[in-house]
Amino acid sequence: MQESGGVPDVFDPRIYATGIPHDRFRVLRDRAPVARQEEPEILGWPAGPGFWAVTRHADVVRVLKDSATYSSCLGATQIRDPDPADLPFIRRMMLNQDPPDHGRLRRLVSRAFTPGRIERFAVTARERARSLLAGAIEAGGEPDLVRTVTDDYALLNLTDLLGVPPSDRGLLHTWTERVIAYQDPDEPPALDAEGRPVNPRSPAMLAEMFGYAQELAAHKRAHPADDVMTVLATSELADAELEMFFFLLTVAGNDTVRSAAPGGLLALAEHQEEQRRLWTGEADTGTAVDELLRVHPPVLSFRRTAARDTELAGQKIRRGDKVVVFHASANHDERVFPDPYRLDLGRTPNPHVSFGDGPHVCLGAHFARLQLRVLHEEVRGACAGLELAGPPRRLVSNFINGVKSLPVRLREPFAPRA
């Protein structure tokens, strides 16, 4: 186990290519729940000043709820420091704001996420899941569920909710890949004019997406529809706020389900007895979805910046220090979850932090849960079970808990549909 300053390293993105480093997180929770981490130069990115890794559930929740002490605005929410010149631009995004500015934006955009609008998409999501699974089955062999089902399922559901025309949906996939997979050596890096790695969230890299957001908003004002972009385009959002919210929805809205869906299916393939409980109806699908989110949170970490000198779990933290919460560690904290490494699809209560906590709790959590529940119901209806046909491939990232490939065998006989 590699160590930095006497404690396990949980920063290196390459660690996560083999799964969540549970052994490292367990050591940190037991011995150094707020531990100093170095930021060496890795994968072409320059070294950083280091940060505090927060790994216990109670401390993670405390940081996420206390925005007055742990700011999302001062240094934004990614571990790596943004270019100081980009900070004013990045702070336009709701994700990188503190109350009261964050609350004003959240109230405006929450109008688009009404329960009625979300529930209406359940029928479309079910038809899409059924169609994608049928295609994977008809193709025969051992399908890669990421390529054949879950990537398209997440993207197309999101573009339906937003109101993006079918001809433009490939653009959203390209933009998401650029932002999410920037640490992965298998993906083409975002480079500046001199060939140096550049933050994919910089103004230059997002100009194309923002131009498209304004074009789509203008179209929705002229041709309103029952979709999120129509609500945003006719709201009180300034142009820059609308652009940033389109970015947030495109990336976070897509990748939450895009990561959680194959992660949940992988967990089921690895735990055949729990899979059987789900297939037989012994385990409730909604409860199962939350347990699958606990063991495979779509987001691994989020950063805050100390707004003042403080103390957390006995560790003194200075104003300006980076403080990074690790969701995957909090979700396996023995102090909160009995037998945390056991997949229990009936686990209740289940206070996981996969959608965050506090003022920044995920705005689209209900939509994400709906999509995951529908997908698991349709997988259960399409086959008699699934098992791994080869090792999964994971994203190299300390931010997104992504699965790039999930080859499976779908067991016959296929259950007849009602």
pLDDT at site 418: 47
Return averaged pLDDT per consecutive 10 residues of the chain, 418 residues in all.
72 95 98 96 83 98 98 93 86 90 88 81 94 93 95 93 90 77 56 56 73 94 93 90 87 88 98 97 97 97 98 98 98 98 98 96 92 97 95 94 95 57
The domain total for the chain is 1
pLDDT at site 286: 96
pLDDT at site 155: 92
Residue 161 lies in a domain: yes
Residue 47 lies in a domain: yes
- Strands 310-312 and 315-317, bridge-based pairing: antiparallel
pLDDT at site 415: 44
Residue 332's CATH number: 1.10.630.10
Residue 212 lies in a domain: yes
Tell me how far apart the alpha carbons of residues 216 and 234 are, in angstroms, rounded to a whole number.
Answer: 12
pLDDT at site 163: 93
pLDDT at site 403: 96
Residue 416 lies in a domain: no
Residue 410: both structure tokens together: 């779908």
Residue 109 lies in a domain: yes
Residue 417 lies in a domain: no
Beta carbons within 10 angstroms of residue 417's beta carbon: 8
Residue 418 lies in a domain: no
Residue 11 lies in a domain: yes
pLDDT at site 191: 55
What is the span of the domain harbouring residue 184?
3-410
